[in-house]
Amino acid sequence: MNLVDRFERKHDYLRISVTDRCNLLCHYCVPNGSHDCTSFHRLLTDDEIINIVQVGADLGIKKICITGGEPLVRKGLPQLIGKLKQIDGIEDIALTTNGVFLAKYAHELKKAGLNRMNISLDTLNEEKYTRITRNGKLQNVLEGIQAAIEYNFQPIKLNVVLLKDYNVDEIETFLRWTMKENVQIRFIEYMPIGDQQSEWSNQYQSLSIVEDVARTIGDYVEHKRQQMAGPARVYSFQNAKGSFGLIHPISNEFCTSCNRLRLTADGHLKSCLFWESEVPVKQIAYDKDELIEAYKRALFLKPKNHEMGQSLYQQGTPTTRVMSAIGG
């Protein structure tokens, strides 16, 4: 059985938010500067997550990405990853993290079977990093990246949300990093998630500027799309050790190839990051037949596209959940 929606898109990728808590307060993720976190008893347990994923794997889910909040603030995460790795059909497990605790846990995560790493890093300037995250220390993240390199996670993707007044001036620095280190810098357009329209309109920057800067550095080529590559268009400079990717949900919508579902920390299946539609699954986490129907329902609710950045919405109501509560 395959997870195919009304528009013939096949879904084999599940993003799992294991917590909506985070040690940072990034402006685009926590707009009001404080977390309104779910009480612990309402969060999915490890066993509930494993059951939901098991049914998803039976339906065709092959790839998992563990997200948050910050997933490394959840106790026992390496053990949970180890159990997910043992599920038949799951071929690939990634982690999206802010990197602050990564140096501490990289070895455990590698032993648990984690394949890949996505690390959020919007600036290489200490002062700007503290300002964007409201309380973070850049050095902790850099040490985490180094640990990920040492333990040979492949690939290591560094996610850079492009913000007009914060980091546009660092595009060249990030691009040149790919020449000397085997990392993929992924520039991501800022998305208006969780009723952030005014903030978004002030800070949104199209990724065309990245290509403009790249052309001043040298020749680069686009990579052929690989299985499970996600929405990024990936490029590399001649003789570079690493690569850079562009993820532009606003200026070059990629909905036609979307293959992902999301499981929120409080137990809801979401078929689209932008819309409010979601299907509760925590109460049915041990009922296989009900879970199958929930997956089907989530796919039925999935619209043709997200309509981010538009002034009028034709397909539904945008979510009021902020990014930290969805899992990105």
Q: How far is CA 97 from the centre of its chain?
A: 9
Structure tokens at 70: 């910050």
At 284, give phi and psi (nearest 5°).
Answer: -120, 20
DSSP letter for each residue of 217-278: H--EEEPPP-TT--S-EEEEETT-SSEEEEE-TTTT--GGG--EEEE-TTSEEES-SSB---
CATH entry 3.20.20.70 includes domain 3-326:
yes
What predicted TM-score, i.e. pTM, was given to this entire model? 0.90
Please give the chain's pLDDT, 328 residues, in tens.
689 999 999 999 999 999 999 998 887 777 777 767 889 899 999 999 999 999 999 999 999 999 999 999 999 999 999 999 999 999 999 999 999 999 999 999 999 999 999 999 999 999 999 998 998 999 999 999 999 999 999 999 999 999 888 899 999 999 999 999 999 999 998 877 765 555 667 888 889 999 999 999 999 999 987 654 567 899 999 999 999 999 976 655 668 788 999 999 999 999 888 778 899 999 999 999 999 999 999 999 988 876 554 555 666 777 777 666 677 6
Task: Decide if 256 contacts 302 (C-beta within 8 A).
Answer: no
Strands 63-67 and 92-97: parallel
Cα 136 from Cα 115, distance rounded (Å) = 26
Taking a C-beta distance cutoff of 8 angstroms, is the pair 26, 133 a contact? Answer: yes
DSSP type of residue 159: E
Instruction: Identify which of 228, 300, 234, 303 has the alpha carbon closest to the alpha carbon of residue 259.
Output: 228
Give the pLDDT of residue 209: 96
Whole-number Å distance between alpha carbons of 283 and 102: 32
Q: Give me 129's structure tokens.
A: 């990093």
Check residue 36 and give its pLDDT.
77
| C-alpha span between 326 and 305 (Å, rounded) | 18
Please tell me the predicted confidence (pLDDT) of residue 204: 85
Q: What pLDDT sits at residue 190? A: 85
Q: Which of 18, 9, 120 is nearest to 325 (CA)?
A: 18
Instruction: Give 312's contacts (C-beta < 8 A, 6+ positions apart).
Output: none
pLDDT on residue 168:
96
C-alpha–C-alpha distance, residues 68 and 96, integer Å: 8
Predicted confidence at residue 198, as pLDDT, reads 59
Helix segments in 16-151, DSSP class H: 46-59, 77-85, 102-112, 126-133, 138-150
